[in-house]
Every structure is written in structure tokens, then in C-alpha cells.
């Protein structure tokens, strides 16, 4: 062949395997290290989509904020890492499995509500219990909403796509949950004469029982450190307030008040939390074991545990009167709280922190 030979036309078929030439079998994204032996689908569609100067931004970020901050900054949290790119979400969520899961949950909840209402269940709820749902489940939904809003803000600030997408899906779950409860209360309210769907917000804003819970979530909304928020929410507030109420209260007591619907609606939140907790723990375990900043990070987390664990514990104690409200009292606050304290100890232990002080 000499240089004057004409260039061949493109191969007739554009299908893989038609021809062999350099890189003809390079059929994997090759610019990142998979966490396991082989990249997962989640990793392929997630890793490095948000770049940074260490990973491929040869020109660095090309717009900055007025104060000089680049498009993404490591300074947006006081946690440090020798390698921000290590973390992978345990739940491996990308768009497809996120929608599948969310859609399954809303379908399940809608079925519960539809079947329950069709059989006239809400009208058989214990009268006292109806008041509790109206006032206190009605107040609690704002807590879920606050978490969702805080995490929606947080997903702008993480240093990698993996961190920000985990914050994003967590936010999506919490905002859905807040809406689920709102719509559920509105719908059973249609079947219960005198039910006041606006009572919950009044209790959220004014009832003593809820004020420490509100203070706790407002404190989370009061910081811009996204990892502080993520830690506060999933390590402190969720076990001591969220789960305490969903699991230690609603799920334990509802059946005895003739309510088989509410636990199903609320229980979706438990499965959501398990996944988000797994992501959170994975991230903080990575950061506490960071070869350069591990000890420093651990001290910061310990500090956050003191602050937010303290706020959450005090919020939990403030909820105690709820346990004496139902007509049929089959669960005790002390037992419920004890279970949640064990839960938070398990979490902090997994991350490698000293357990939360009990006072």
C-alpha cells in the first residue's frame, strides 16, 4: 500500500464486532476505578459526571462566585478528605431504580388508602386516635418536609457526583414522605366528620411537644455545611426523632386503636431510611478512615454528634407525652426510646464514634 491509496469508505455495518482495529474492543468506561472488580451500572452513569480540577478539569472551573469560590469547592464543608472520589452510594441509585422504587411506594400507599377507605376503615378508628393523627402525625409531616428541604439545598454543595446524588435521592424520599402523609391525612379527613387538616401545622408551630423537634430541624436548616446536615439528619435526628415517632409510636400503637392504615403509610419511611442510612454510614466511615484527615474528621463528627444528638435527644424526650394520649396504651415511651438509643449507638459504633451521652 502506498500513501496515495484512497481512504476506504466506512465499514458497511456500524455494529460492534464488525471489524478489528485499535480500541475496537474498548467497551467500558475506562477513566475511573470501580469500587468492586467490575463497574456497576450505577457507577457507570454516575462517576465523574461532576468533574473537578483533580479529575479532568484541565482548565479548572471557568466561572466563579463573586467571593472567589469556584463552581464546586472543598471548603463547603469542614470535613476534609484525601480522596473525595472514593464514596459510592450503597443503594446504587440512578434514575431508573429511583423511579421504580418511588413509584412502587406510592402505588402501595395509594392501595392501602383506597382499600381502607373503601371498607370504611377511617370511620372505625378510635376517636382519640383520630385526634392524635390530626394533631401529631399532622405536626410530624413538617419534620419530614424540613429534612427534604435541607437535603435539597445540600445536593448543590458536595464535592462529587456520588455524594450529591445520594443527597438528592434522600431529599426526594423525604419530600415524597411529607407529601404522602399530607395527602393521607387529607383523604381520611374526607371520611371523618370534623377532621381538621390544618391542625397539624398549628401543633408544629405552637405545641410544646413539638418545639424541640422544630428547633432541631431548624438548626440543621441553619447551616450550609452539607455534610453536617447529612450527619445530623441520618445519624441523629432520624433514629431519635423520625424513627422513634414512625416506629416506636405510630407502628406500635395504631393497631390497638383500630387503625391498620397509618402504619402502612408511615412504614415506607422506614425502608427509605434504611437505605439512606446505609449511604450516610458508608460516607462517614470512609471519611473517618481517611489516611490524612481521619482523626480530624472523627473529632468533628464527635462534635456534631454532641450538638445534634443532644438536640435530637431533647426533642425525643419532649415527645414523651404522646405515649399517654391514646385510649389504649400498649407501648411505653421508655421502651421506645431505649430501642432508638440502641439504634443510634449501633450507627455511631459502625462509624467509629464514642456513643452519644445520655443526658
Report 105-134 residues binding other proteins (CB under 8 A).
Answer: 105-107, 109-110, 114, 117-118
Taken in order 228, 77, 145, 284, the sign of the CA dihedral is negative
Cβ(288)–Cβ(301) below 8 Å: yes
Q: Does 75 bind other proteins (CB under 8 A)?
A: no
The footprint of other proteins on residues 295-314 (CB under 8 A) is: none
The footprint of other proteins on residues 7-26 (CB under 8 A) is: 7-11, 13-19, 21-26
Options 102-110, 236-244, 341-349, 351-359: segment touching other proteins (CB under 8 A): 102-110
Q: Which one, of 333, 227, 238, lies nearest residue 287 by Cα? A: 227
Total chain residues near other proteins (CB under 8 A): 110
CB of 108 vs other proteins, minimal distance in Å? 11
**Binding other proteins by CB under 8 A: which of 40, 92, 223, 332?**
223
C-alpha–C-alpha distance, residues 55 and 31, integer Å: 9
Torsions phi, psi for 90 (to 5 deg): -65, -35
C-alpha–C-alpha distance, residues 146 and 223, integer Å: 13
Residue number with CB closer to other proteins (311 or 341): 311
Q: Does 198 bind other proteins (CB under 8 A)?
A: yes
The footprint of other proteins on residues 265-284 (CB under 8 A) is: none
List the alpha helices (DSSP H) in 232-321: 243-245, 252-253, 262-288, 294-304, 310-318
Residue number with CB closer to other proteins (182 or 332): 182
CA distance readout (Å), 15 to 11, 20, 25: 9, 12, 12
The footprint of other proteins on residues 155-194 (CB under 8 A) is: 155-157, 161, 164-165, 168-169, 171-172, 175-176, 178-180, 182-183, 186-187, 190
C-alpha–C-alpha distance, residues 183 and 171, integer Å: 18
The footprint of other proteins on residues 47-66 (CB under 8 A) is: 47-51, 55-66
Please name the helix (run of DSSP H) or strand (run of DSSP E) that holds residue 115, with its range, or none.
helix 95-118
CB of 124 vs other proteins, minimal distance in Å? 16
Residue number with CB closer to other proteins (223 or 332): 223
C-alpha–C-alpha distance, residues 97 and 75, integer Å: 32
CB of 159 vs other proteins, minimal distance in Å? 12
Amino acid at each position: 500500500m502506498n500513501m496515495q491509496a484512497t481512504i476506504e469508505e466506512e465499514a458497511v455495518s456500524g455494529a460492534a464486532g464488525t471489524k478489528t482495529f485499535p480500541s475496537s474492543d474498548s467497551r467500558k468506561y475506562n477513566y475511573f476505578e470501580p469500587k468492586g472488580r467490575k463497574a456497576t451500572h450505577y457507577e457507570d452513569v454516575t462517576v465523574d459526571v461532576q468533574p473537578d480540577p483533580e479529575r479532568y478539569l484541565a482548565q479548572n472551573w471557568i466561572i466563579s462566585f463573586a467571593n472567589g469560590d469556584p463552581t464546586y469547592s472543598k471548603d463547603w464543608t469542614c470535613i476534609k478528605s484525601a480522596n473525595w472520589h472514593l464514596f459510592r452510594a450503597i443503594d446504587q441509585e440512578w434514575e431508573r431504580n429511583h423511579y421504580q422504587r418511588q413509584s412502587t411506594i406510592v402505588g402501595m400507599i395509594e392501595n392501602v388508602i383506597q382499600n381502607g377507605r373503601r371498607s370504611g376503615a377511617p370511620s372505625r378508628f378510635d376517636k382519640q386516635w383520630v385526634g392524635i393523627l390530626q394533631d401529631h402525625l399532622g405536626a410530624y409531616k413538617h419534620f419530614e418536609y424540613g429534612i427534604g428541604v435541607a437535603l435539597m439545598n445540600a445536593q448543590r454543595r458536595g464535592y462529587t457526583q456520588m455524594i450529591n446524588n445520594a443527597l438528592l435521592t434522600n431529599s426526594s424520599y423525604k419530600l415524597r414522605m411529607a407529601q404522602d402523609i399530607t395527602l393521607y391525612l387529607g383523604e381520611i379527613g374526607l371520611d371523618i366528620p370534623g377532621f381538621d387538616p390544618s391542625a397539624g401545622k398549628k401543633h408544629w408551630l405552637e405545641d410544646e411537644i413539638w418545639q424541640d423537634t422544630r428547633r432541631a430541624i431548624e438548626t440543621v436548616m441553619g447551616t450550609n455545611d452539607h455534610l453536617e446536615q447529612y450527619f445530623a439528619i441520618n445519624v441523629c435526628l432520624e433514629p431519635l426523632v423520625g424513627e422513634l415517632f414512625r416506629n416506636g409510636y405510630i407502628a406500635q400503637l395504631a393497631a390497638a386503636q383500630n387503625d391498620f392504615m397509618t402504619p402502612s403509610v408511615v412504614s415506607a419511611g422506614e425502608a427509605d431510611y434504611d437505605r439512606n442510612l446505609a449511604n450516610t454510614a458508608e460516607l462517614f466511615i470512609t471519611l473517618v478512615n481517611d489516611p490524612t484527615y481521619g482523626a480530624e474528621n472523627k473529632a468533628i463528627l464527635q462534635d456534631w454528634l454532641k450538638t445534634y444528638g443532644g438536640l435530637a435527644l431533647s426533642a425525643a424526650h419532649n415527645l414523651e407525652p404522646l405515649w399517654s394520649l391514646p385510649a389504649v396504651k400498649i407501648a411505653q415511651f421508655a421502651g421506645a426510646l431505649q430501642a432508638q438509643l440502641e439504634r443510634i449507638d449501633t450507627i455511631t459504633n459502625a462509624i467509629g464514634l464514642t456513643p452519644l451521652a445520655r443526658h
